[in-house]
Structure 1
Amino acid sequence: MKQSNKKRKNRYFHYQKEILNTIFEPASFIGSNYRYIFVNNAFNNFYGKETNETIGETVEKIWGAENFEKKLKPGMEKCLAGQPVFLQYEGKIPNGEVKVLEMNFYPHRKPSGKIDGVISTANDITERVRAEQALKKSEAQLQELNATKDKLFSIIGHDLKGPLNNILGFSELIENGFDKYSCDEIRKYNKIIYQLSTSVSDLLENLLTWSRAQRQKLTVSPQNLAIHFIVEKCFGLLGQNALQKEIRFKNNISPETIIYADEEMMTIVMRNLISNAIKFAYRGGTISVSAKNSDEMVVVGVKDTGVGIQKEKIPCLFHPDENHSNLGTEGEKGTGLGLIICKDFVEKNEGEIWVESEPGNGTVFYFSLPAKSNS
């Protein structure tokens, strides 16, 4: 009787093995002790194994300890408790390749009904998942391009046209009433024209830079740079703007502080951040620039004594599809384009940019860049 039962069990198991060998998916029978009892031909072909390399070995050894503990064992435990499990596995497979698999675990039952292992099958969905990810990335890029286009049209249609019309209007006032206006009145109108012209000039410079960046015409050429001297250069370029509001500059960066970045891009970033600080600083205030080393990065901070930024507006500052431009402390206009360029250029140089601010207590724009390269 015992021999007869043993023969039936062997025939039953042989029948199951024959079925698993007929399917094209990698399939295996794993015992309750997580050791391989059987693998089909597709398993060997897909995972680059020979039968004798796998049979008797644990799933942990074949797949690696971390993959087993975190990705496979939890599902197998549920399966051994009687629940079929369907999961998506992403990572290294036994032959060392990185794949995305649909894995199915089915409880294996003895003729008596007792669960003694797991039947595992897998389906390679790597190409499908990669295609879906590429499509999502493409859709995100398209949305960003559309936002960029809308932002560009908005700037050209409103933010550029408005100041130019005002320049023409005040110029016409001076031209037609030169003899009847006092020197103080002409100086007043001329100051307005100067401020508007500066705003238009900055805007055009940013538009051209941004346009080149969007068309991938800018290449990153990093080198070791003393950030102190880039700050001094930008202070010189923007000195007249600061003088108009009686704002003082402070360069607290040591000449020995070295960053590894593209010089032109970092000059544009620094000029935009300092220009932005001037716009939102109160008359008679201070703009200070500092830097400190953090791990293998240099963190630069541009601080103003100005109006600050409301907390809910901070997440929108670096997005082209958000309208977050505000008037400066003396009515200066802006588009927010400068901050978008700053984010783009900092990230192109392997850094990050962020802001800390509190309404009424000023703002600090921080950005990180790689420290000096020794190569």
Structure 2
Amino acid sequence: MEPKQYFLTKNLSRNPGNYDSAINGASHSTDHESHKIDGVSPKERKIMKRLQELEKINAGLEKTIEQRKDEIAEIIASNKKYISILAHDLKSPFSSIYGVLGLLKDCIHENNLDEMEEYIDIASSSAINTTNLIENIMAWATSQKKDNGFNPVRINLANLVNQEIENSKLAVKLKKLSIVHSIDPDFNVSADLQMTKTILRNLINNAIKFISPNGNIIIRATEVGSLIEISVMDNGIGISPEDQIGLFDVDSTEIIPENSFKRRKGLGLLLCWEFVNIHGGNIRVESQPGKGSSFIFTLPKHD
């Protein structure tokens, strides 16, 4: 039996001319009918295309996890706390995707195209979160090996931040956010490239996740002696003083429901703490509830 989440898209893609029957013969406006080709309107074709893209993303994520699980199984076997975090982090976005696909099926029957687009955006956001999590899992697995591959090189900070902002473009677009930086183009750090990418990616994603639509994210850097201090600031929900305690400590990590307004301590922040410490730096948070947060970390300046 085919999985439920694939039924809708496969049947629509195989028989696009039968779209009306897929939505139980729902009626359409006169304007809708005048623009139809083979019984399918342009907007319906757009929805069908996005559903097919979402199906491919979902299938690709499942395939990637299947390919990687044996590679990391031995490494994480003795890390029970990390496993509980990973299990929760993986479950949340997949549950969201599956739930949204069920809602999309209802919308098809009701011919509610506007709601369909909204649900597809939600599923797309969950797919992005899952992709980021998979990257975090592999980064963490690498760091747990005896030879963690630490290889500090000269990195132009402004260029790297520009790359990470570009990589977050889709997530930023979905929430209609603004993300900018004001880093001196001459600032260079001596750091491991992949670890630094992971730190920046997680702090940017963290800001995106806990900020309201139309919010702002600003990335800055200043010289502090032999270090460069980088801050990722947002005007999101903020973090209470009690929740800031143990934010980067795996032993105090609390599993909080995904739909909670409380900022959850997951694998991303733990990786940031670990990778910053490998560089001999420090990471901290400055935040007030309702006024946003600043995550600040240091890396060695390149002479």
- Structure 2 SS opposite 1:367: strand
1:152 to partner: Cα distance = 2.9
**Contact map agreement 2:237 2:290 (CA 8 A) in 1:** yes
Q: Which moved more, 1:164-173 or 1:316-325?
A: 164-173
Alignment of 1:19-34 (within 5 A): none
- Structure 2 SS opposite 1:289: strand
Match in the other structure for 1:17: none
Q: Among residues 278, 290, 295, which one is paired with 1:365 in the alignment?
A: 295
Gaps of 5+ in 1: 1-144
Q: Which moved more, 1:232-241 or 1:314-323?
A: 314-323
Match in the other structure for 1:296: 226
Match in the other structure for 2:157: 227
Match in the other structure for 1:160: 90
Q: Among residues 253, 263, 285, which one is paired with 1:355 in the alignment?
A: 285
Equivalent pairs: percent with the same residue? Answer: 30
Q: Using structure 1 for the length normalisation, give the TM-score.
A: 0.56
Residue 168 to residue 361, structure 1, CA distance change in 2 (3 Å): closer
Alignment of 1:163-174 (within 5 A): 163-174=93-104
1:319 to partner: Cα distance = 0.9
Residue 265 to residue 159, structure 1, CA distance change in 2 (3 Å): closer
Q: Among residues 184, 189, 202, which one is paired with 2:119 in the alignment?
A: 189
Partners of 1:280 and 1:355 lie apart in 2 by 14
Q: Among residues 173, 198, 201, which one is paired with 2:128 in the alignment?
A: 198
Say what the alpha-carbon RMSD is for the aligned residues: 2.7
> Deviation per CA, 1:9-40, whole angstroms, max 9, x where unpaired?
xxxxxxxxxxxxxxxxxxxxxxxxxxxxxxxx
Partners of 1:348 and 1:372 lie apart in 2 by 16
1:243 to partner: Cα distance = 1.6
> Deviation per CA, 1:271-329, whole angstroms, max 9, x where unpaired?
10111111122322211111111111111111111121111221211011223466789
Residue 331 to residue 312, structure 1, CA distance change in 2 (3 Å): closer
For residue 259 of structure 1, what is the amino acid of its counterpart? V
Q: Among residues 307, 316, 320, which one is paired with 2:237 in the alignment?
A: 307
1:181 to partner: Cα distance = 3.1
Higher helix share: 2
> Deviation per CA, 1:207-243, whole angstroms, max 9, x where unpaired?
2211221224531111111111111111001111112
Partners of 1:168 and 1:217 lie apart in 2 by 38
Partners of 2:84 and 2:143 lie apart in 1 by 18
For residue 191 of structure 1, what is the amino acid of its counterpart? D
**Higher RCO (C-alpha 8 Å, min separation 6):** 2
Partners of 1:335 and 1:167 lie apart in 2 by 22
Residue 277 to residue 176, structure 1, CA distance change in 2 (3 Å): closer
Partners of 1:301 and 1:157 lie apart in 2 by 29
Q: Which moved more, 1:258-267 or 1:167-176?
A: 167-176
Match in the other structure for 2:189: 259
For residue 179 of structure 2, what is the amino acid of its counterpart? F
1:366 to partner: Cα distance = 0.9
Q: Using structure 2 for the length normalisation, give the TM-score.
A: 0.68
